[in-house]
Amino acid sequence: MTHSPVSDTEQFEVALTTQVRSYLSTYRFWAMLGLVLAIGGGISLYLAARGAGFVAHHFLSATDYIGAILGFVAFLAIVVGAFFGGDAISTDFGTKTGYYILAQPVKRSVLLSGRYVAAFLVSSGIVAVYYLIAMVGGIGFFSFGAVPWESFGLSFLLALLLTAGVLSFAFSLSSLSRSPAIGLVITIIVLLVGLSIIDGVVTAFAGTSSLWFSILYAADAISGMVTQGISGTTPPVWQATAISAVYAVGFAAVAYVLYQREET
């Protein structure tokens, strides 16, 4: 053979584009996009149809409006993260795809990082569409100057970091099952039900200040920083950022170790 070895970077690009194409070919991507457009777009169209007076009656300001719309972002970030990360590892070991892809001369770390970035781009894209709808509504119903740009922008960045944290967590969980479908369901149940129960129990016994470990708790800051101001959120922005970052980096490392160790 005469072909010269391909760099990890070039193989990363191949893994990334392959995975993005994979997501774009799935029903779950189009279903999530449809859900975002239906909820965000539906609310905006309804308000537009009712007129400016109706909007002014229900929302005191653009901040009030955008804060209300962004109340859905935490749930959205968790669902998209679970949907696009929940079968990331099990897809190779639960089907015979692993025999195909893992026998190629590509480092597993390159394959995994290509998949992770692809999942992040697709998930972020869906979250960004929702923010775009909120922004257009804020400008349309109020004015460009009325939009709280600083808190809105920081909220978006925190939403992206939270999405990365959820994805890393989902990537790790996806190694628990050999079936991609079961892996996906486990991830969604753990994120939406399991963590909520844990949060509820901890809050009941020790108060919300003990939820320093919870990504659901961190998610509260996403809309909170718009409605309550950057310095007035619970949890504080720094804590929400730290929790999300630790999830993103820590569970990505766990997923990496699990993916390296897994055998077909």
Q: Which of residues 106-135 bind another protein (CB under 8 A)?
A: 106-107
Q: How far is the CB of 126 from another protein (least distance, A)?
A: 19
List 31, 56, 104, 253, residue binding another protein (CB under 8 A): 104
Q: Which CB, 93 or 156, lies closer to another protein?
A: 93
Q: Does 90 bind another protein (CB under 8 A)?
A: no
List 53, 207, 231, 263, residue binding another protein (CB under 8 A): 263
Residue span binding another protein (CB under 8 A) among the ranges 10-18, 129-137, 148-156, 198-206: 10-18
List 4, 53, 145, 231, residue binding another protein (CB under 8 A): 4
List 35, 39, 102, 254, residue binding another protein (CB under 8 A): 102
- What is the 3-class SS of the chain, one letter each residue? CCCCCCCHHHHHHHHHHHHHHHHHCCHHHHHHHHHHHHHHHHHHHHHHHHCHHHHHHHCCCHHHHHHHHHHHHHHHHHHHHHHHHCCCCHHHHCCCHHHHHCCCCCCHHHHHHHHHHHHHHHHHHHHHHHHHHHHHHHHHHCCCCCCCHHHHHHHHHHHHHHHHHHHHHHHHHCCCCCCHHHHHHHHHHHHHHHHHHHHHHHHHHHCHHHCCCCHHHHHHHHHHHHHCCCCCCCCCHHHHHHHHHHHHHHHHHHHHHHHHHCCC
Residue ranges in contact with another protein by CB under 8 A: 1, 3-6, 10-11, 14, 18, 21-22, 25-26, 95-107, 263-264
